Structure 1
Amino acid sequence: MKKRRLIFGMISGLLIIFIIVTASNAMLVTSRQPSPQPTVVMINEVKAVEHLSKAITYKTISYQKRSKFDFTEFDKFISFLEESYPSIHTQLELEKINEYGLIYKWQGSDSSKNPIGLTSHYDVVPVLEGTEDNWEQPPFSGTVENDKIWGRGTLDDKVGVIGILEAVEFLINDGFKPARDVYLMFGFDEEIGGDEGALKIVNTLKARGVTFDFVLDEGGAIVENMVPGVDQPVGVVGISEKGSATSELSIEGSGGHSSQPKNHTNIGRIAGAIAKLEDTQFKGDLRGPGEDLFEYVAPEMSFPMRYVFANKVIFEPIIEQILLQQPATAALIRTTIAPTIFQAGEQYNALPEKATAIINHRLMPGDSLEDVKSFIEDTIEDDAINVTVTGSEASKVSSTNGWEFKSIQQAARNVYKDAIIAPYLMFAGSDAKHYDSISKNTYRFLPVQITSQDLNRMHGTNEHISKDNFINAIKFYAEIIKESNS
């Protein structure tokens, strides 16, 4: 009996110590957010809105077939920029790369400092044929109505191009002079990979030995209800973007008449392989940029959630299981599997001699193309199925510890004082990946507040932005230039 009481007492004591230690960890977590210094940037809002509205009217559309590009629209857009921003075109050097890629160089006063770069793209995706009548306002009208600016590019990404130029024009006219060189770099084919725009810009600058302390591109934004336990909006800054790979699973064999099928047909074997992959999935692992996100938001969480994340070492398996329940958070911690194309057969009563499936993957930092191939082969366990994997791995992970990331944080807080600014892993692709080779850090952040509906509108129907959102984007770009030169 005494022995039992002793054991019970020891367990109780250990439990009390555990509670004290873990609760202390939660209590001692401190905020990683800088104090806001409210912006004093005063934009001519009417003129700025007019400029974005006009920019939308140019059909600078990127098509998968480059032969479909209408470069007269691109020429008109560039002429529009020259007319709309006279101070920039008087005081900054403009160089055109591959005719339509734009580099503006704002000379700084201290040549010992590395430059910074702000980049966006002015090409847009086409409007899906047959959906034109679903738009509340014509997609290339630039209509301004009910405090909203409508049209393709208002979110992706003429808002970035015009936002940056408005900010620089304001700063020049306000007498601001940067200490370090500031480059403004605008691509024209980002929507199809950026190979003729951003990549050519990068190759040009690399040949000249230009190295940036950081380049800031589009990417994450300020969103609400993204992180459990956090009531404030969260501004997510991409410090890396996932790789994009395509795996092809193919099998060839005798076909034959459908009246005498084998137990396992070509279609059945490929379908079975896909089912195995979807049932197995890559292992979730809260690491890298995903882990950084929660380290930055944990101090702002309600106490129960803060308790869990402050003791991540203990609760990590539970956290990972929770994150894996939703597609958006699952993608934050694992390489994804998305079957997108299945090709087999031509006639209803003939067994196909070949079946092929295409799977899109978004790779976590640290996962290689070879890792993906090995995972597929080990999972499907079918030597008759040929597996090939092509694509790109994740970009490098940029620092959150230096002045570069802290400047972005501060600039965002100066404009959005209630937002929590945190690093994260970007799922989609951007031109930023091209700049990795000439920049110590590449960040991905579109300084606007967006909703889940806005995300669907970016490449979909009824893309638009509020006037306030656009004006705040301009203020952010002005603030990041000032913060980087303080």
Structure 2
Amino acid sequence: MVDIEKQQSASATTTSKLLHFIIRSIPAIILLGFIAITGSGVLLNKDQDYFPLSSKNCGSRPLCPIIPYVRPDSYHSDNSTVLKIISDESFRNSSAKKLSGAVRIKTDVYDDSPLVKEDPKYWDDKFKPFYEYLESTFPNLFEFAEVERINGWALVFTWKGSNHSLKPILLTAHQDVVPTQDATLKDWTYPPYEGVYDGEHLWGRGSADCKNLLIGVIEALEELHANGFKPNRTIVLGFGIDEEIGGERGASKIGEKLLEKYGKSSFYAVIDEGGQSLIEQEGIFLALPGTGEKGIVNVVIGLNTPGGHSSVPPDHTSIGILSKLISSIEDEPFHAIFSPRNPTFHEYQCIATHSPSLSPAVRTAILNAEANPLANEVAIEYLTHQSLATRYLIETTQAVDLIHGGAKSNALPEYTEAVINHRISVESSVNETVSKDLRHVLKIAKRFNLGVLYEDTELLPKTDAGYFTVHKEGSLEPAPLTPVNDKHWDILGGVIRHVYEEVAYPSKFDDKPVVVAPGIATGNTDTHWYWPLTEHIYRYRPGLTPTVETHAHGVDEHIPFDSHLQIIAFYYQYLQVIDSLED
């Protein structure tokens, strides 16, 4: 049920701030209106840069340029292979068969899955069949590339280049998938491990996250090899086995191996899953490679209180006290931050630069958000009230996902526990996030005369009434930001535009070129295990549909099969382009 009163109040607040900002920004609004009337600054063609109204746009490079196309030389001499990948029916069906076979192999992992050394058979049973499937389906890859199994079944393929002075490229994906729930099997259009291809979509667990990427990268390499490509730059593939539970058994071991072999800052770039493939927003098409990633921490809060018979209860049991704590935490959300440290800031500067439909007041606010605090506040209001998805691009989350307490209806609960999952804004940190929760714990503890232990530190002494325990699990700081507006970025963006606009849809983007802008991953990927290898880490998987719309992790996970073909085409072109570059 929609809370109309709350919506109206939020709308009134936003309107008030917009009016205040407009009054203070009349000169800019008048100029913006003049631009709209005269057409000055309007994007005229797909290769023209748009120079927005902004005090920060004083350098030689515009705020959000339309990146020029980048094509491999082979596209001009013989583009038959990349066109075959996109449009040949025989290739399409063969590719669908390969991905379908990969989906059929159940490689699900669980939060309580053992370490490899604890139970090697557990991992053998899951991933040996998948390894054997790759070996039989892609025999050429196993011939021209060196294959290493790490920590059991994490895989590294190395296609050695002839020029050892060039930094290698690392392309990654993960073999594992999230489990399905038996209770939901009846809700699937097709059984989750049958890999059904209906001619338009391919269905099943892992079809979108991310066996499509893993198989697509391999297909691209085999097509390159079949066409006589001999790399100058070494190409490395890294396929983990437990990304869905943190990557400790797979990608972490791959990262250690590559760091030992090549050293720090030794790779040209790393490209993994993630990002927004291709979306239409405010009248423009956006491709959003992830150049940042929010941090994460689970805060585990336990409450120990005396037990006893429920016939003589205290005013508040441990469950009741913990409930008040949870309510206190949830009643104070984190503050949203819209700053240039967040790739979302640059994404929305691009939207404000190129969108034909964004309101003038919001456009002006976004473009001036760095220099003008009131403009920044208006931009935040706009983002936080668009949707939860946009709100949490710029705000640390707090989700109470687990709670346990009590053993019997007539026995007072002696121990109650809650787990709060946070996804941490790039401007924040693990400690800052935990500190907010601790502040609420201390407030409730003082109210009910309870002690507080944080990790190994006593913040308040234990009492006869009981005590809280607080510790953090699975913490990861926000990722280092990938540089943009450098040569690496222009090459990536130029190939993305080339594949979408010239190869896949040569007539779709005549009036609306694809704007390649930085984005942020609100979830986490295996890339954090590769941070030491390069500063150029991109989280991007080409395709037509954002991951959330493919039902990844949910019932009826599927992909439009055109998306899979675009993965193959992108890597087929991109690997040729970077092979001819000096570092």
Deviations 1:191-216, CA, capped at 9 Å, x for gaps: 22221211111111111134212100
Q: Map 1:55-454; keep pairs closer than 5 Å.
A: 55-63=102-110, 64-66=112-114, 67=119, 69=122, 71-72=124-125, 74-210=127-263, 211-224=266-279, 227=281, 230-287=282-339, 288-302=342-356, 303-304=358-359, 305-312=362-369, 313-314=371-372, 315-325=375-385, 326-380=387-441, 381-383=443-445, 384=450, 385-390=468-473, 391-417=475-501, 418=509, 419-451=514-546, 454=549
Distance of aligned partners of 1:346 and 1:62 in 2 relative to their CA distance in 1, 3 Å threshold: closer
- Quote the offset at 1:437 in angstroms: 1.9
SS state of the match for residue 377, structure 2?
Answer: helix
For residues 482 and 90 of structure 1, the distance between their equivalents in structure 2, rounded to whole angstroms, comes to 20
For residues 268 and 389 of structure 1, the distance between their equivalents in structure 2, rounded to whole angstroms, comes to 22
For residues 15 and 421 of structure 1, the distance between their equivalents in structure 2, rounded to whole angstroms, comes to 29
Deviations 1:266-301, CA, capped at 9 Å, x for gaps: 323221221121111111101222212223333221
AA aligned opposite 2:381: Q
Distance of aligned partners of 1:189 and 1:251 in 2 relative to their CA distance in 1, 3 Å threshold: closer
For residues 527 and 576 of structure 2, the distance between their equivalents in structure 1, rounded to whole angstroms, comes to 22
Contact kept in structure 2, 1:369 and 1:389, CA below 8 Å: no
Moved more, 321-330 or 160-169: 321-330
For residues 51 and 18 of structure 1, the distance between their equivalents in structure 2, rounded to whole angstroms, comes to 56
For residues 248 and 168 of structure 2, the distance between their equivalents in structure 1, rounded to whole angstroms, comes to 23
Distance of aligned partners of 1:258 and 1:62 in 2 relative to their CA distance in 1, 3 Å threshold: closer
Distance of aligned partners of 1:309 and 1:16 in 2 relative to their CA distance in 1, 3 Å threshold: closer
Distance of aligned partners of 1:62 and 1:265 in 2 relative to their CA distance in 1, 3 Å threshold: closer
Contact kept in structure 1, 2:352 and 2:363, CA below 8 Å: yes
SS state of the match for residue 416, structure 1?
Answer: helix
- Quote the offset at 1:186 in angstroms: 1.2
For residues 125 and 202 of structure 2, the distance between their equivalents in structure 1, rounded to whole angstroms, comes to 24
Q: Identity of paired residues, percent? A: 31
SS state of the match for residue 362, structure 1?
Answer: strand
Total equivalences in the alignment: 471
Q: Match for residue 15 of structure 2?
A: none
User: Given the alignment, which residue of 21, 45, 51 partners 2:98?
Assistant: 51
AA aligned opposite 1:437: P
SS state of the match for residue 360, structure 1?
Answer: strand
SS state of the match for residue 540, structure 2?
Answer: strand
AA aligned opposite 2:376: E
- Quote the offset at 1:234 in angstroms: 2.4
RMSD: 2.7
AA aligned opposite 2:545: I
Q: Match for residue 462 of structure 1?
A: 556
- Quote the offset at 1:317 in angstroms: 0.3
- Quote the offset at 1:47 in angstroms: 2.0
Contact kept in structure 2, 1:297 and 1:422, CA below 8 Å: no
Moved more, 411-420 or 148-157: 411-420
Moved more, 48-57 or 291-300: 291-300
AA aligned opposite 1:247: V
Distance of aligned partners of 1:62 and 1:115 in 2 relative to their CA distance in 1, 3 Å threshold: same
For residues 18 and 89 of structure 1, the distance between their equivalents in structure 2, rounded to whole angstroms, comes to 61
- Quote the offset at 1:402 in angstroms: 2.3
- Quote the offset at 1:362 in angstroms: 0.8
Distance of aligned partners of 1:269 and 1:135 in 2 relative to their CA distance in 1, 3 Å threshold: same
Contact kept in structure 1, 2:276 and 2:290, CA below 8 Å: no
Contact kept in structure 1, 2:214 and 2:239, CA below 8 Å: yes
SS state of the match for residue 397, structure 2?
Answer: coil
For residues 195 and 277 of structure 1, the distance between their equivalents in structure 2, rounded to whole angstroms, comes to 30
For residues 559 and 23 of structure 2, the distance between their equivalents in structure 1, rounded to whole angstroms, comes to 58
SS state of the match for residue 60, structure 1?
Answer: coil
SS state of the match for residue 333, structure 1?
Answer: coil
Deviations 1:363-382, CA, capped at 9 Å, x for gaps: 12242222122212324523
Deviations 1:121-144, CA, capped at 9 Å, x for gaps: 122222212322322222222222
AA aligned opposite 1:299: T
Distance of aligned partners of 1:279 and 1:96 in 2 relative to their CA distance in 1, 3 Å threshold: same
Distance of aligned partners of 1:424 and 1:142 in 2 relative to their CA distance in 1, 3 Å threshold: same
For residues 22 and 266 of structure 1, the distance between their equivalents in structure 2, rounded to whole angstroms, comes to 58
AA aligned opposite 1:344: G
- Quote the offset at 1:98 in angstroms: 2.0
SS state of the match for residue 145, structure 1?
Answer: coil
Deviations 1:204-247, CA, capped at 9 Å, x for gaps: 1111134212100001232535x4xx223422211122122111
Distance of aligned partners of 1:330 and 1:351 in 2 relative to their CA distance in 1, 3 Å threshold: same
- Quote the offset at 1:264 in angstroms: 4.1
SS state of the match for residue 141, structure 2?
Answer: helix
For residues 223 and 267 of structure 1, the distance between their equivalents in structure 2, rounded to whole angstroms, comes to 46
AA aligned opposite 2:211: K
- Quote the offset at 1:467 in angstroms: 2.2
SS state of the match for residue 404, structure 2?
Answer: strand
Unaligned runs of 5+ in 1: 1-11
- Quote the offset at 1:92 in angstroms: 1.9
- Quote the offset at 1:80 in angstroms: 2.6
Moved more, 426-435 or 13-22: 13-22
Deviations 1:26-48, CA, capped at 9 Å, x for gaps: 95325422234687413232322
- Quote the offset at 1:55 in angstroms: 1.7
Deviations 1:309-328, CA, capped at 9 Å, x for gaps: 22224311011123223321
- Quote the offset at 1:14 in angstroms: 8.3
For residues 107 and 30 of structure 2, the distance between their equivalents in structure 1, rounded to whole angstroms, comes to 60
Distance of aligned partners of 1:253 and 1:97 in 2 relative to their CA distance in 1, 3 Å threshold: closer
